[in-house]
Amino acid sequence: MDDDLKSIASARRCAESAFEAYRQFQGTDPVRVNEIVDAMARAIEPEARRLGELAVEETGYGNVEDKRVKNLFNALSVADYLRTVTTLGVLWRDDAAKVAAIGEPMGVVAALIPVTNPTSTIIYKVLSAVKAGNAIVCAPHPRGVKCGLETVRIMAEAAEQMGAPKGLIQCLDHVTIQGTAELMKHRRTSVVMATGGPGMVRAAYSSGKPTLAVGAGNVPCYIHESKAGEIGEVAEQIITSKCFDYGTACVSEQAVIADKKIARELRHEMKLRGAYFMTPAEADRLAKVIFLGRQAMDPENVGQSPEALASKASFSIPPRTRCLVSEETEIGWQRPLTAEKLNPVLAFYEARDTSHGIELSHGIAKFEGWGHTALIHCDDPQVVARYATVPTGRVLVNTPAIMGGMGYSTALEPSFMLGTGTWSGSITSDNVTALHLINIKRVAYENRPWRDIYDEYGE
């Protein structure tokens, strides 16, 4: 049997058994559901580093320590958030209006898992799906199958020990494009959660099933002159966020836009913290390493260390370099490093004034990053209000983009799936949570005499 047939067979088998498990799971007391979710989160905690090691070894992307943190964020912060929300049963009631909202599961969730975050995304999606009363089948990237299977195994065993039916949480063991497509369009699949590249997202939306999918992120980071007294802290936030897991998060900073008055000091502070500002020739060579062409990152060079990238681009960098920076003046594919880069690589712009800085931020977001995230470091609320016109689903203020966007250092919902709205063809601009994986039924009693319509609208 060839790989496609094996994958299609795996998808069909998983979808059918997940549906049976979902039917058995229906009606489970929400208290028991919470206990199952908590048990899965606890099971992941001691395994967070090992799963990070498996992910790096199999995919070749990122680094173990940051993947450990990603795994723990989803096992702990996401689980803590889910404990506080109601997804099943009565969500709210308005006694005066005589309306109540009831949360009910959607069914079987087909969860597409990106190669850049192959374990942490599974943790987040499994916890969210089960909290909403659903079954879930994960479809990892072909080069993330082993670590995906192990993550699902840990969570499924913990759930089953707490009474969840076998088959509620599954992972495809053979993965091809055809097999993943079969899972998405299968008659037992109720909803698709798609995180990955543009091709995967397009395939998810064409599956014919309700789909939650997200687009690319080309995150502008504007530093306003009002932060002149805190440039060192701003530089540390930018570099820490961008270099986290070697830049594999689409919510991390992609372009720094600094007001002219503070640009020189920001460059200096970034250099002190491990930023290497490339020569134009070095930046051009690096662009050819990262990109195969327009809208085509080289998958072999995603999530690599600065040392590895510089070596491939044939230039040397100082020891302990954390980030590579390209000074830019244009935006577009004639300058590839102004696009999204899933690496510790930043574009750097100098803005003439506030209006120019906001204009550049609009340009970056619209170039390969519609709807995702924008970031501003600023102490002037009026400037922040002007900046909030950037066409993105979230505008973060005075925080590292990755920690703020995923809901750790802000009050956004903790999530590893950030909606990009209709700007980029997504159904939502929210941080996606378990509340996006339920159907909400309204129970409405008559609260005014129905015959009154003729009195109100009659001749």
- Provide the b/e sequence for 198-221 (b: ≥16 CB within 10 Å): eebbebbbebebebbbbbbbbbbb
Quick count: other Cβ atoms within 10 Å of Cβ 268?
14
Beta bridge partners of 53: none
Beta bridge partners of 312: none
For the annotated catalytic residues, the residue numbers are 250
In which residue are the tokens 């690599």 written?
A: 304
d(CA 83, CA 2): 44
